[in-house]
Every structure is written in structure tokens, then in C-alpha cells.
Amino acid sequence: MEILHSKIIGEGKPLVILHGFLGMSDNWKTLGNQYAQNGFQVHLVDQRNHGRSFHSDEFDYEVMSQDVFRYLDQYQIEKTSIIGHSMGGKTAMQVATEHPQQIEKLLVADISPKYYPPHHQAIVDALVQLDFDYIKSRKEADESLAQHLDDVGIRLFLLKNLHWVEPDKLGLRFNLDILKDKMDEIGENLASSAVFNGPTLFLRGDRSEYILPNDFPGIHRHFPNANIQTVEKAGHWLHAENPKQFFEKSLHFLNS
């Protein structure tokens, strides 16, 4: 059975961090180092079909949650806190509600337990257009994406996945073939019976529409001890857009 790829930083209490859709563990390197400097052994994990982890035709929160348990087992981690952003937040919720005894604290970044209709189609369409028979540099890849995606921030985020598959051939680290066919799975809601009673923090960006006030009752139904806080001057990528406030609020929660 394959184990998720990770980068482990620091020593102390275990802290697992799960990235979002089309992201990878590297997105959390800066914050990961800060947590490590504050007494945590940080596990920056690549979820399946992302980063340097294995590719698989199976892709839903059930198997992604099992991946995390296998990972904890591999590293003999009996109890850990977990941070998950977006898709990673959904995985983290699944993990916490399935094996609450293994989760010390749960921090979910800008996603709620509800169902989200597929909304990444424009990004996926732009990625499908990348032709690596002709694209030979990051600049050329960006020019191709720019024909479909105006947002420079999103393009830079996607281009982090660019790597040399062979000495003269670029490619993407994530498994686009499977991910584009599994778009419905990304937005899947948490099972209605799923509950985690442990300490939980939901952080939402003040410019994001992923967690709205009418989502609060649903959050508290699944997570009775959830505290919901807002990170200012931040959209959906709140940990990248206001890392200082995200770090302060998350560290205070992890240490409380």
C-alpha cells in the first residue's frame, strides 16, 4: 500500500497539514517552518494525485481519509492536530469524524461541510490546453494559461506544479486526467451523521464566499465545539493572502 509523500519539519507535537485542490505541500512551506519554530513536528503532506504523492484512479474523501490514517500509522503518530485548506479541509473533517480519538485539534481553512457545486471548470479547461510538446518554459506555460485565466495569482499557484518530467519535457505534478473527471467529488458534503466533538477552529477569509453566515448552523451540527473566526483582507487562499493573521489565529488555537 502506497504512503503519501511528505516533508517533515521540526520536533515536538505532531501537526499534519493538508493542501487544497491542485495544490501541494510546498504551498505551506513558509507557515510550516513557523509552526516548527513553535514546538511542532510539522508534516506537510501531498494528497493522492497531487504533488509528489502517488497517482490513482480512485479519488474521493473516503480514500483520501484512509491515506491519512495509513500515513499516521506509518509514522507511529497516535494523536495529531490537523490543518486542512479547502479540499484538504474536507479531508481533515472526514479524518476527524472517522477517528476522533486520533485527532487532538482540527483546523479547517475556508471550507464548510456542505456540498459545493463544481466551480473549477475554467481552471481545468485552461490546464487541459497546455501542450507540453510545444511548451518549453515556465514563461510559455504562463502565456498559454493567460489566454484563459486573467488572475495572475491563480496562474502562479498552478505553475508551482510545473516540473521537468524528462530533461527536455515539462509536465504537471498533479494527475490532471483523473482530477478533471472527479470534479464532483471535490465538492462532496460530509455525511449527515459525521460528528467530531473535539476542539475545532474554522477560519474564513473576509473576501471569500466559501463560508457564509448561513453555513454556521451546519458547521456546529457536525462540530459542536467549533469556533468560527474571520481572517481579514483575505479571500479563499487566506493562508497566502494574510499569512500573519492566519498564523497568529491558528497558533493561538493550537496552543490553547
Q: Strand, helix or coil at 218? A: helix
Closest CA to 42 of 24, 18, 70, 20: 18
Active-site residue, 252 included? no
Strands 162-166 and 169-172 turn out to be: antiparallel
Contact present, 94 and 62 (Cβ < 8 Å): yes
- From the list 67, 236, 239, 250, the catalytic residue is 236
- Alpha-carbon distance 90 to 199, whole Å? 16
Of the candidates 177, 181, 184, 206, the residue annotated as catalytic is: 177
Q: Answer yes or no: 206 catalytic.
A: no
Q: Annotated catalytic residue: which of 53, 65, 86, 250?
A: 86
Strands (E), 64-186: 80-85, 103-109, 162-166, 169-172
Q: Respond yes or no: is residue 81 known to be catalytic.
A: no
Q: Nearest 5 degrees, angle CA 157-CA 183-CA 163?
A: 35
Give dist(CA 235, CA 226) in Å, integer: 21
Cα first-last separation, the chain: 36
Catalytic residues, by residue number, are 86, 177, 236
